Amino acid sequence: MARIVVFDLDGTLIDSDAALVAPFVALGVDPDDITFGHPIEEFCAELGISVDEYVTLYDTDAAKPFPGVVDLLERLDRWSVCSNKHPRSGRVELDRLAWEPEYALFSDAFGGAPKRLGPVLELLEVDGADVVFVGDSPHDELCALEAGAHFAWAGWNPRTAAGEPSGVVLRQPLDLLDLLD
C-alpha cells in the first residue's frame, strides 16, 4: 500500500485532548465550544483569544503517547509529522518524547492556514501514493485525499472511534504495519 507514514500529532500520536482544552478554559472559553483539528491560529481568532496566551498556558508535559505508539514508531523506517499545532509546543513535545521524525511541519509551515500534506510530500520527495497519512479528524482525511495519499483513522483514540468513521480504521497503532509495503 505505502512505504512512508505521515502522522497528525494531537489525537493521533499523543492523547492531548485534555491538554488542548485546558488553556482555552483558563482563558474563559466554555468547554462545550471547543472542538478539535483546527489550526490553532484560526481557532484562537474565532474564539477571540490570543494565540500567545494560549501557547503560554499550554502544558507541554501533559499529553502522553497513546498506548502502542512508542512501539510503532520504533518499528518505522520513515515517518514524519504534519500538524495544525503551534510549532513552539509541538517541537517541545517531540523533544520531550525523544521522537525524531524525518520532518515535522506545524502551523507556521502553512501560514496559520489548515495544514496540507503536499509540503511534507515535497520534503520527502515522494508522491501521495507512497504515503499513508494517519489522523483523527475529517480534515486529516481531506489532507490525504487532496494529496493522493492513503488515509487511516487513528481508531485507538476513543474520540475518533466513537465517531465511527468510515474507511480504514486502525484499532491499535501496530495495525498500521499491515498497511505498509
Whether 112 shows a pLDDT value over 80: the answer reads no
Q: Does the global pTM surpass 0.75? A: yes
Lowest mean pLDDT among 34-43, 65-74, 82-91, 166-175: 34-43
pLDDT over 90 (residue 31): yes
CB 63 within 8 A of CB 90: no
Task: Number of helices (H) and strands (E) in the chain: give both, helices first.
Answer: 8, 8
Are 91 and 33 contained in the same domain?
no
Number of domains in the chain: 2
Find, among 27, 3, 43, 74, the residue nearest to 137 by Cα.
43
Show the domain range for 44: 17-57
Secondary structure element (H or E) that encloses residue 64, with its range: strand 64-65
Based on the domain organization, do 159 and 115 belong to the same domain?
yes
Same domain, 9 and 98: yes
My answer on whether 83 and 170 are in the same domain is yes
- Considering the domain architecture, whether residues 33 and 90 belong to the same structural domain is answered as no
